[in-house]
Amino acid sequence: SEQGGPAGDVLILRDLCEVRALREEIARREKLAALGSLAAGIAHEIRNPLSSIKGYATYFGGKFEPGSEELEASRIMIGEVDRLNRVITQLLEFARPGELRLREADPAALAEAALRLVAREAAKKGVRLTFASEGAPAGRMLDPDRMTQALLNLYLNAVQATPPDGEVRVVVAEAAGGKTRIRVADTGRGIPEADLAQVFNPYFTTRASGTGLGLAIVHKIVEGHGGMIEVESELGRGTVFTVTLPASPANPESAHGAADPS
């Protein structure tokens, strides 16, 4: 100013939302890595004695009279061991490194083939399955096995959440920037808003028989491909999971994999 004093103040505002989000993502990944290592160690320690338990239960079951309480108890024991083995398999799947065997694949064909694998489960519940490909790109660098695994998890969750006479609809289409979008929509009960932010967290589940690892594995596989997965839901109307995959991996090493020469 003319008097030599300050003419005014300059206020600098910096949006720290992006920095905060990055820190949270780093913390999340570190937590997942620690959980994965812990899960792998526990799973291997548990699986060995489970095999012995099942072997003895099967052996003694063969010595009991048909219809006896002892035979029924042995069958229950075998069934519970099998259930625990399935949980362990998921633990190991979650803990395994994210290496991908990338090769060119058709996302729409992959999504449709995976949907056929749950047709019997859907038919038992009376749930309709519909599929549509709306200008989806044909060639993408993917790990077909891991992507099929991710889609199967989404499809089975959708079928389980959908009542009889409901519908699970899968649409594969091209998104902005040449990306591929896969939408899995169901007409189920929906997910409470308070749970939406947690559905991809390990061990979070609302089902009594769930392990809470299915969607965490899906998230890991999609993220490994350089993609993203989002969820929208409305109680009483249904849920939509949207997987968006890049046009091509910007850096194959960032996806923890390499092109499969086969």
**Residue 227: HSE in the Cβ half-sphere, 13 Å Cα cutoff:** 27
pTM > 0.85: no
* CA 241 to the chain's CA centroid: 10
Over residues 55-106, the pLDDT tens digits come to 888 888 888 888 888 889 989 989 888 888 877 777 777 666 567 889 999 9
- Is residue 254 within 8 Å of 198, Cβ to Cβ? no
Q: Which two tokens stand for residue 180?
A: 């591929």
Over residues 8-29, the pLDDT tens digits come to 666 665 666 666 767 766 776 6
- Is residue 167 within 8 Å of 127, Cβ to Cβ? yes
Over residues 147-196, the pLDDT tens digits come to 999 999 999 999 999 999 999 999 999 988 889 999 999 999 999 988 88
Amino acid at 182: I
pLDDT band at 43; cut points 50, 70, 90: confident
Instruction: State the pLDDT at residue 128.
Output: 97
Is residue 250's pLDDT more than 50?
Answer: no
pLDDT band at 7; cut points 50, 70, 90: low
Of all helices (H) and strands (E), which one includes residue 131? strand 128-134
Is residue 252's pLDDT more than 70?
Answer: no
Q: What is the spatial distance between Cα 128 and Cα 20, in angstroms, rounded to a whole number?
A: 43
Q: What is the spatial distance between Cα 184 and Cα 188, in angstroms, rounded to a whole number?
A: 12
Asked if the domains 17-95 and 101-259 are classified in one and the same CATH topology, the answer is no
CATH code given to domain 101-259: 3.30.565.10
Instruction: State the pLDDT at residue 256.
Output: 47
Query: How much is the mean pLDDT over the chain?
Result: 82
Of all helices (H) and strands (E), which one includes residue 261? none
Strands 100-105 and 257-259: parallel
Q: Reading across the β-sheet that carries 100-105, which strands appear in turn? A: 140-142, 100-105, 257-259
pLDDT band at 253; cut points 50, 70, 90: very low
**CATH architecture for segment(s) 17-95:** Orthogonal Bundle (1.10)
Q: Is the dihedral of CA 89, 90, 94, 95 positive or negative?
A: negative
- Is residue 172 within 8 Å of 181, Cβ to Cβ? yes
Is residue 244's pLDDT more than 70?
Answer: yes
How many C-beta neighbours within 10 Å does residue 190 have? Answer: 18
Q: What is the spatial distance between Cα 2 and Cα 105, in angstroms, rounded to a whole number?
A: 71
Distances (CA, A) of 121 to 33, 39, 109, 128, 144: 33, 29, 20, 11, 22
Amino acid at 63: K
Over residues 196-217, the pLDDT tens digits come to 888 887 766 766 556 667 888 8
Q: What is the spatial distance between Cα 161 and Cα 124, in angstroms, rounded to a whole number?
A: 13
Instruction: State the pLDDT at residue 212.
Output: 67
* CA 161 to the chain's CA centroid: 15
Distances (CA, A) of 159 to 75, 79, 171, 211: 28, 23, 16, 17
How many C-beta neighbours within 10 Å does residue 13 have? Answer: 5
Over residues 119-156, the pLDDT tens digits come to 999 999 999 999 999 887 778 889 999 999 999 999 99
pLDDT top residue among 69 and 39: 69
Kindly list the domain boundaries of the chain, sorted by start residue: 17-95, 101-259
